[in-house]
């Protein structure tokens, strides 16, 4: 069930959300207390939408799963905030656009956020959330094993979202910059992105996040992508043995080991191939055809052709889709290597790395995942 489906249900289920009058909205209760959004004034929060996030999380149970994956070594008799509450506070804040830990200096007193994380109500003078330093210690406590267990939760959530086994899945691999504003460990300058950044690896299936792997930016964009693919395929096939899996990626992931592993394990691949002089020569006739058609019609032209091509590092010739595109701006040849036998199922969303612009990435510098800062 998607977030949209849940919100639609909330609007239609009287037991979940009741319209008492045109200016109020009731949510699931907090203990014996009712939670009601009132638009008539009084105590005000600018982040009331966190209550909708709370309703969605209660349906998915994702924070519960993350809490179980992260060991808590603290003495339970000497703590003020349990781990699940702190995880909820941090995750909800990021979802609301507050990615900085320093934001919690004021957020910890926000009445809506306190209710969302099941903390005492607003009239309690001691009702404050976890401090910036407490949340900082929480984040630094996670080691590699804990992060691996937490990553499993995303796969489990994706699998649980399917009522019936899917016939096929398309996994999109993407590496993008996460800009750094500080002197964190692993800080390197990336020439392509022109900033100090990390280079995390993301894997999506549609809009569902399956993997997010933080990496330094001094590495090849495809680093560890084959290992991540192996883990995902193992998990997905353990639940759905008959599912057909295809990966899509830009030319940064076109590595012979990845291509050969896909062939050996029955994985479809649709991966961009960076242009070079040999490829451009192969596409010259088709590009000339697109250019002439554009000059005659004044409309964007796009022509496709299938050829077989072998790069110096490949073990054999592979099927290559050539796209010859000509627009009013410039000619635009593209190349995609694939082992899909019946033609390209749909045009890949990912573009070759040599032609990506700042707007082509799934994430931008303005998104909460687009930059990392010091506390």
In this prediction, residues 167-179 reach a mean pLDDT of 95
Segment 264-315, tens digit of pLDDT: 999 999 999 999 999 999 999 999 999 999 999 989 999 999 999 999 888 8
* pLDDT-derived band at 358, boundaries 50, 70, 90: very low
**pLDDT for the residue numbered 29:** 83
Regarding pTM above 0.95, the answer is no
- Sequence-distant (6+) residues with CB within 8 A of 310 are 316, 317, 318
- Whether 185 has a pLDDT exceeding 90, the answer reads no
The residue written with tokens 């977030």 in the block is 3
Q: How many CB atoms lie within 10 A of CB 276?
A: 12
Segment 112-144, tens digit of pLDDT: 898 899 876 556 656 688 999 999 999 999 888
**Encoded tokens for 317:** 């010739």
- Sequence-distant (6+) residues with CB within 8 A of 135 are 86, 89, 90, 101, 104
- Round to whole Å and give the CA distance between 25 and 341: 53
- Round to whole Å and give the CA distance between 232 and 229: 5
Least confident of 56-60, 70-74, 339-343: 339-343
Domain range annotation of the chain: 3-141, 162-373
Segment 302-338, tens digit of pLDDT: 999 999 999 988 889 999 999 999 988 889 899 999 9
Q: 145 in helix, strand or coil?
A: helix
Percent pLDDT > 90 in the chain is 60
**pLDDT for the residue numbered 23:** 65
Environment class of 321 (CB within 10 Å of its CB; exposed 0-12, middle 13-18, buried 19+): buried
* pLDDT-derived band at 182, boundaries 50, 70, 90: confident
**Encoded tokens for 29:** 């209760």
Segment 192-219, tens digit of pLDDT: 999 999 999 999 999 999 999 999 999 9
Q: Which helix (H) or strand (E) holds 204?
A: strand 201-205
- Whether 231 has a pLDDT exceeding 70, the answer reads yes
Q: 235 in helix, strand or coil?
A: helix
- CA–CA–CA angle 173, 308, 322 (5° rounding): 60
Higher pLDDT, 42 or 359: 42
For CA atoms 97, 103, 106, 109, the dihedral sign is positive
Cα dist. 107→36, 138, 269, 345 in Å?
A: 20, 17, 45, 47
DSSP 8-state code for residue 168: E
Environment class of 146 (CB within 10 Å of its CB; exposed 0-12, middle 13-18, buried 19+): middle
């Amino acid at each position: 069930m998607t977030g949209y489906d849940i919100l639609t249900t909330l609007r239609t289920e009287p037991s979940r959300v009741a319209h008492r009058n045109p200016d109020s909205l009731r949510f699931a209760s907090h203990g014996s207390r009712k939670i009601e959004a009132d638009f008539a004034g009084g105590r005000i929060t600018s982040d009331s939408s966190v209550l909708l996030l709370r309703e969605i999380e209660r349906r998915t149970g994702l924070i519960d799963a993350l809490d179980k994956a992260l060991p808590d070594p603290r003495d339970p008799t000497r703590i003020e905030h349990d781990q699940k509450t702190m995880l909820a506070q941090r995750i909800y804040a990021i979802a609301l656009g507050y990615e900085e830990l320093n934001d919690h200096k004021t957020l910890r007193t926000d009445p809506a956020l306190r209710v969302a994380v099941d903390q005492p109500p607003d009239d309690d003078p001691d009702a404050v959330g976890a401090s910036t330093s407490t949340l900082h210690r929480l984040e630094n406590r996670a080691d590699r094993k804990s992060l691996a267990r937490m990553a499993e939760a995303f796969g489990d959530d994706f699998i649980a979202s399917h009522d019936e086994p899917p016939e096929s899945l398309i996994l999109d691999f993407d590496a993008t910059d996460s800009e750094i504003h500080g002197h964190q460990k692993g800080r390197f300058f990336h020439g392509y992105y022109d900033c100090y950044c990390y280079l995390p690896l993301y894997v999506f299936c549609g809009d569902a996040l399956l993997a997010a792997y933080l990496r330094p930016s001094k590495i090849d964009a495809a680093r560890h992508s084959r290992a991540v693919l192996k883990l995902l395929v193992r998990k997905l096939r353990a639940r759905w043995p008959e599912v057909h899996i295809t990966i899509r990626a830009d030319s940064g992931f076109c590595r012979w080991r990845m291509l050969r592993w896909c062939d050996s394990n029955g994985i479809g691949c649709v991966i961009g191939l960076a242009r070079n002089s040999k490829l451009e020569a192969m596409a010259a006739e088709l590009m000339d055809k697109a250019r002439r058609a554009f000059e005659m019609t004044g409309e964007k032209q796009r022509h496709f052709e299938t050829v077989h091509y072998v790069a110096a590092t490949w073990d054999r010739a592979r099927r290559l889709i050539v796209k010859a595109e000509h627009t009013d701006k410039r000619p635009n040849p593209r190349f995609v290597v694939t082992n899909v036998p019946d033609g390209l199922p749909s045009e890949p969303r990912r573009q070759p790395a040599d032609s990506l612009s700042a707007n082509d990435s799934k994430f931008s510098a303005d998104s909460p995942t687009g930059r990392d800062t010091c506390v």
